[in-house]
Each structure stands twice: as C-alpha cells, then as structure tokens.
C-alpha cells in the first residue's frame, strides 16, 4: 500500500531513503540548513522544498497520509543547556503539532533524543503527548537503538507514533508481541578493560561544540571497523599507513534486523557510540594508532548509500567533509525508519 507523506525538519531525508523502497511518495520536504537543502535538491529536485515548516498551510497540498519530523534536539539533549519547550528550537515540537492539526494526516512519526523524556522533569514530553491526545491521536512511544537495526553504532532515539483515533494501531507499530511478554532479555555483566572514548577535534566543522563519538575504537566497535584482515578484506596492520585503512562496511538487511531496545554495559564486539551533529570527524582507536572515519564511513554508519552527501557544493564538484559530518550526525538512522515504515505498512494491511 503506497502512502503519501510530508517531512519537516527533513535534514538529508533518512525517511525517504528508508521509505522509497516501500513505494511511498513524499509530498514536500522542509529544511532550513543550507547544506542539507542542497543534498535534498540534488537527490529529489521534483519534491517541493520549504524552509520554515510553520508556513505550510492547510490545503496547500493534496491530503497526506503521514507527517514525519525530527524537530531540533539540542534543547532536550543532556549535552546542551536543556531549554526544553521554552527554547525556540524546542518549541518547534509544538509547531509540529500545530502543523499536524492543519494537515490532519492519519499517521504521525516524531523523533528526538532520549533527553526529551526527562526535560523539565518530564513535563515537556508530557506536553507533547498531551497535545497529540488533544488532536485526537492515539499514541505510542519507544526508545530504539540503531545498533539493533543493522548499524555499527549505538544511537538511542525516542520515536513517537500516532494514529488518528486509535492508540492500538500506533502501539502495534512500535511493539511486537514478544516485546510485551514481560520476559526481558537478561542483563549482561560489565566488561573489563574497555578503552576510553577518543574524539577527534579538528579545526572547523559544524560549530555546535559536539563530536561524532566512537567509544573504544577497535575494542568495542563493530569488527567491520578494523583494517587488519577483517570483513572488509583489509590486510594493513595498525600503525602502518593507518590513514588508508579499509573503510567500514555495514551489512544492512532489513529482513534480519531486531528491535531490542535496551542497552546495558558495552562488551567487546559491541558497536560504537553514536554519531553526533558537531561536524567533526569521529575516530577509531587502537593502542598504536588513531584514524578518523571518512564521510563515506559515516554515511554507512547511518545507513545511507555511499556518496549520498558527496554533492556539488558552492561552485565546487565535491562538498567538504565538515558539512557532510554535521548533516549525517543530525540525521535519523535509515534502518530504524525502514523498520517503522514496514511496521506501518503491516498495520495498514489489517482490516
């Protein structure tokens, strides 16, 4: 079943990368940042691209089935000042609700950082959910971690799904029968000798003061990050020509992903910490060397095709690394959005 959706705070459109294989059609995008706008215009030149989504009016487009958006997370992040809904960026969550009221889609999908759950003592998130209820949407929310959906990074995000008039359909999207059985997986014991975080802080970048943060390098990252005879076929030992180590390869098969939502203590072989939005390159570490991840590897860490953000930019044939790191760090994880899309498709097929 093909759905039509509108996307706000679109970034580089993880939703479309995830939902295009389902045959879904975007009615419009909305993004204010210059480089993500250029990425969208490059890949989707026929889709209307707004700046400020609050200017989208009722009746401006044909009715849509779904409204998706990941409104700015900085006001809710534990790494920021946590201005919550009083912050202009946090208040865009309420503007998302006002847009939903104008467009009245059947489905809503909203994403943010886990810090939204505790912002202002939980009252901010309660206001968002209460607003959805006042609009007549039944809702469900869940924290999903990208490491359980085929990506080599820990990236926990809150996903809220709403369905007009029926909370059961929203819950059926986010929760499988086995996850409601009351028998959670046993917690793992804490590991030993886990390497500390190493973050690269080159000059320039996105200017948000945060970095991609890959915890423990080759000790706790996925084995595909390694360059010595690993799954990528590399044969260079660390400490020798590390700047040309083989690139990360993520085997993404949406038919095999799981949805385990909890994470306790990192163990050897676990995926890396999440990419963040600072525009700085992440690093992988080994006792003898440190290597920055390439933008292509970061595209793979988020589930995008290789070269997706390598577009012409400001008169040059290739974009510099800084805007690419920032745009990827701000993006949703494509496999998580793919899973949600397929679950919505499944529920749509239930009479």
CATH of 4-181+333-348 given 3.40.50.150, 3.10.50.40, 3.40.50.720, 3.40.109.10? 3.40.50.150
With CA atoms as reference, report the closest residue to 42 among 305, 225, 350. Answer: 305
**Which of the residues 9, 73, 298, 336 is marked catalytic?**
73
Instruction: Give residue 226's pLDDT.
Output: 33
With CA atoms as reference, report the closest residue to 148 among 185, 189, 173, 199. Answer: 185
pTM attached to this predicted model: 0.71
Instruction: Give residue 283's pLDDT.
Output: 62
73 catalytic? Reply is yes
Distances 243 to 75, 240, 282, 308 between C-alpha atoms, Å: 36, 9, 13, 22
Instruction: Give residue 119's pLDDT.
Output: 81
Alpha-carbon distance of 150 to 54, in angstroms, equals 34
Walking along the chain (351 residues) 10 residues at a time, the average pLDDT comes out as 92 96 96 96 96 91 94 51 48 87 95 87 87 94 95 93 95 81 54 38 32 34 34 30 36 38 42 52 63 91 96 95 94 96 95 69
Instruction: Give residue 338's pLDDT.
Output: 97
Domain ranges of the chain: 4-181+333-348
């Amino acid at each position: 079943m093909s759905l039509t959706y509108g996307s706000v705070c679109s970034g580089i459109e993880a939703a479309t990368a995830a939902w295009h294989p389902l045959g879904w059609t975007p009615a419009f995008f909305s993004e204010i940042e210059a480089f993500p706008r250029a990425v969208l215009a490059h890949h989707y030149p026929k889709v209307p691209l707004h700046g400020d989504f609050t200017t989208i009016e009722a009746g401006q487009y044909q009715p849509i089935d779904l409204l998706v958006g990941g409104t700015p997370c900085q006001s809710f992040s534990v790494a920021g000042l946590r201005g919550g809904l009083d912050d202009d960026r946090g208040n865009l969550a309420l503007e998302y609700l006002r847009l939903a009221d104008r467009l009245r889609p059947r489905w809503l999908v909203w994403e943010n950082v886990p810090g939204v759950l505790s912002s202002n003592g939980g009252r901010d998130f309660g206001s968002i959910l209460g607003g959805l209820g006042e609009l007549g949407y039944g809702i469900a929310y869940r924290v999903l971690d990208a490491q359980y959906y085929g990506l080599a990074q820990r990236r926990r995000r809150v996903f809220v799904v709403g369905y007009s008039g029926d909370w059961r359909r929203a819950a059926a999207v986010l929760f499988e029968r086995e996850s409601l059985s009351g028998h959670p997986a046993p917690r793992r014991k804490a590991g030993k000798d886990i390497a500390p975080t190493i973050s690269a802080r080159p000059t320039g970048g996105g200017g948000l003061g945060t970095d991609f943060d890959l915890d423990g390098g080759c000790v706790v990252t996925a084995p595909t990050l390694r360059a010595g005879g690993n799954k990528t076929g590399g044969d260079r030992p660390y400490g020798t020509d590390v700047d040309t180590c083989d690139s990360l390869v993520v085997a993404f098969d949406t038919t095999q992903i799981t949805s385990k939502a909890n994470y306790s203590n990192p163990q050897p072989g676990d995926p890396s910490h999440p990419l963040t939005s600072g525009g700085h390159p992440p690093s992988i570490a080994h006792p003898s060397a440190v290597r920055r991840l390439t933008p292509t590897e970061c595209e793979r860490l988020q589930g995008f095709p290789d070269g997706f953000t390598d577009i012409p930019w400001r008169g040059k044939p290739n974009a510099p690394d800084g805007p690419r790191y920032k745009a990827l760090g701000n993006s949703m994880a494509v496999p998580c959005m793919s899973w949600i899309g397929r679950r919505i498709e499944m529920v749509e097929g239930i009479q």
